[in-house]
Amino acid sequence: MNWRLLAVSAVLAVAGTLLPGCSSTEEATTPYAPPAGKDLTVEIVSLPNKCVVEMNGEYLGGTPLKISVPATPEGCWPGPPSATHVISVSTPNNRFVETKKWHGGDRIPQRLLFRPPYTQR
């Protein structure tokens, strides 16, 4: 009998009984509750100015702009990793759009620079 195979099998069997499993019906059905945090200010600038700013499809104003966003105590976007936070900036004629995306748990930047494609060199 191969002693290495027997030793590996024994270690795996012990680890399987001592370590908790990844699937738990209680965790899967518990709704996500974000930790209490504070709002952070994000400055949004663009080249050129006067571009239209939207967050998750909601109009916020024109650049330059400062917005307040909810954050976790660690300064991250709230929500589970599957939550998406999208900020889009478009030129006044909506001809060019630049979009940036984050997920729950990603760090919130203090300043964002958007350069729609026609202004990039």
Which ranges of the chain have pLDDT less than 70? 1-37, 118-121
Go through 15-47 and write b for each residue having 16 or more CB atoms within 10 A of its CB, e for each that does not.
eeeeeeeeeeeeeeeeeeebeeeeebebebbbe
Q: E strand or H helix at 5, and its extent?
A: helix 3-18
pLDDT of residue 25: 43
Domain assignment present for residue 34? The answer is no
pLDDT of residue 49: 87
CATH of the domain at 75: 2.60.40
The residue segments making up the domain with residue 95 are 39-119
Domain assignment present for residue 30? The answer is no
pLDDT of residue 52: 93
Domain assignment present for residue 26? The answer is no
Q: Which of 75, 79, 86 shows the shortest CA–CA distance to 108? A: 75
Domain assignment present for residue 101? The answer is yes
Are the C-beta atoms of 77 and 85 separated by less than 8 Å?
yes
CA dihedral sign, ordered 17, 20, 23, 28: positive
